[in-house]
Structure 1
């Protein structure tokens, strides 16, 4: 195996770094050398990232703000592209793959200029702006979800790989759907890596409104912003409902596997993990997500029969109380909905993506 690395370019958020991490594990298992190109946000995370080295490149987001701010962002991207070109000349990588976000723009543009083989991974069903900008400059586009929407000229570049998931997700996927033998209904509530305020506003009130006979059966795990924890805990305590609450759960894949039902946002990572683990859900897409990508992500699980999608404008305590009451009272169909989720899961997405990036590298080399 060549010592020339495969470069992974990812913005410093979990939504970009988690699939990059999963691919890095798959490439390392094949004997490939992996380097990560990212921004300063990933510095704290990078110590555990399975790469030989991490390279920090300047970037910025040229949208919103004043004209001066946009001009500064463009200048930062240009500077980052020049730095990326110098880095790529020094490393001479076999190929580079970008996982989205503006931090991927400089290294992918530099790769196009230097004619280095490249792949773009899009985790959402609707391509983000940075990836749209880069899509004409790469050899292949890896689709994380099967309903990825792209312009007609790009269709020939699309390869559906799925979204790589972390090893912890694959371990959690081995757990069967939990039974109801103990008479307990386990609910997981999560709003993405930061926790959604709407979940704190709606879910506790909905559960508190359940009849006492149903409240006695429910156990809640809820991810909530730190500043919302006191009021959320107070509602559950007053309702006599057991809750495990925290701003972040490091073992979230296990928590998903232990749940009978999940209420969450519809980020690409969340949708993919729900599918691989196989759990039914009520999804509330972020209403202001770029280009409506979360609604399109949710459609994958909804169309499979595994999930129901509710607009945030319709997401009310009364609606959720009614849904939960029906589920707790008659949970028999939840196991079949869990199986429906599993049918659209792609547990080997990291391997598929590793096959793709290595084949692109080999095609250019031969």
Structure 2
């Protein structure tokens, strides 16, 4: 591999780290070394991140508008900036590419200070706040949707549509065909929601499934990701309603489970939507309410407009309504198959290649 790496900067959540990991895997195949700058939240992902080295940069997310909260945030970001300057002088990366979240601010701004070429990638259908700020500093901007809301005119001039790259684990099941449920056959439902959705689904799903007709409940096999503390109550609820359920706090083989599901219920973070489109599976998406800039609502709406799924707002979602929607879908295999095909058609198959090409061009631009 080349001695000088490309440094990827990403907030410490799966939504930012997964597309960064996908790019790292592709760059490694091309013989380009990769290092990662992130924050302490990445611990549970960092062990598996395909990077030569992982660096923790002090950072903070703007959690409030009070003068004290803002002062704390910008103080920590300032500390992160000087830490990033020291890191970049030591690592000497060929380029720095950010994947959103406030932890990307110090490395990208420090790279700009040192004249290192930079790019940012926006996974959502609406430009995030950190990326909007960084768009004035970055040399290139990669976007996943066209159009991307809140992408200004100046930023749009240096933007390129790449799509959101997905991990190798997703690519491995991308060509598994969708098989709609057969009459009287098993119905496979997958539910996951991340840290901010799992508890809501743990309350909603048992109540909704209990209201399904007996002829559907007896055919149903549920796989649900839930918080550790919710698992005992969930298990008891499904035993009472007679539903076969496989429950866990985390599924390492989630892409494989998506590939065999007849229907997915999930939040609509950018990586979730990208992986559903890559594999081609129909989904009921419940956007995280009160999210900044309504990015999850925008993502879910785009998938619904393309015919690849259905967007349901959490405030409007009752057990009765969800049971009604599930009964309609599970008794309409042709409708599920059509949504699966349309979701697949919306996926960008060459996203990781396009983004890796952009990264290599970025390195060549300034030698």
Q: Distance in 2 between matches of 1:46 and 1:152?
A: 36
1:273 aligned partner: 275
1:6 aligned partner: 6
**What secondary structure sits across from 2:35 in the alignment?**
strand
Q: Distance in 2 between matches of 1:46 and 1:215?
A: 39
Runs (4+) of structure 1 exceeding 3 A deviation are none
**What secondary structure sits across from 1:35 in the alignment?**
strand
How far residue 44 of structure 1 moved from its aligned partner, in angstroms, is 4.7
How far residue 193 of structure 1 moved from its aligned partner, in angstroms, is 4.9
Q: Distance in 2 between matches of 1:173 and 1:66?
A: 46
How far residue 65 of structure 1 moved from its aligned partner, in angstroms, is 6.7
Q: Distance in 2 between matches of 1:333 and 1:268?
A: 24
Q: Distance in 1 between matches of 2:325 and 2:76?
A: 48
The answer for unaligned runs of 5 or more in structure 1 is: none
Matched, 1:48 2:43: no
How far residue 281 of structure 1 moved from its aligned partner, in angstroms, is 0.9
How far residue 96 of structure 1 moved from its aligned partner, in angstroms, is 0.7
2:86 aligned partner: 86
2:153 aligned partner: 152
For each residue in 1:77-119, what CA deviation from the matched residue of structure 2 results, as whole angstroms up to 9, or x when unmatched?
A: 1121112112212222111100111111101001111121100
Matched, 1:24 2:24: yes
1:115 aligned partner: 115
**What secondary structure sits across from 1:89 in the alignment?**
helix
Q: Distance in 2 between matches of 1:107 and 1:316?
A: 44
- Do the aligned partners of 1:177 and 1:338 also contact (CA within 8 Å) in 2? yes
2:343 aligned partner: 341
For each residue in 1:327-363, what CA deviation from the matched residue of structure 2 results, as whole angstroms up to 9, or x when unmatched?
A: 2223222112111000011233121111011112212
- Do the aligned partners of 1:147 and 1:300 also contact (CA within 8 Å) in 2? no
Q: Distance in 2 between matches of 1:168 and 1:267?
A: 18
- Aligned residue among 184, 187, 190 for 1:185: 187
How far residue 266 of structure 1 moved from its aligned partner, in angstroms, is 0.5
2:359 aligned partner: 357
- Do the aligned partners of 2:94 and 2:117 also contact (CA within 8 Å) in 1? yes
- Do the aligned partners of 1:187 and 1:259 also contact (CA within 8 Å) in 2? yes
Q: Distance in 2 between matches of 1:47 and 1:256?
A: 23
Q: Provide closer, same or farther for how the CA distance between residues 96 and 362 of structure 1 changes in structure 2, counting only shifts above 3 A.
A: same
TM-score (normalised: structure 1)? 0.95
Q: Distance in 2 between matches of 1:177 and 1:313?
A: 31
How far residue 326 of structure 1 moved from its aligned partner, in angstroms, is 1.5
2:97 aligned partner: 97
How far residue 47 of structure 1 moved from its aligned partner, in angstroms, is 2.9
The answer for unaligned runs of 5 or more in structure 2 is: none
Stretch deviating more after TM superposition (30-39 or 143-152): 143-152
Matched, 1:200 2:208: no
1:260 aligned partner: 262
**What secondary structure sits across from 1:60 in the alignment?**
coil
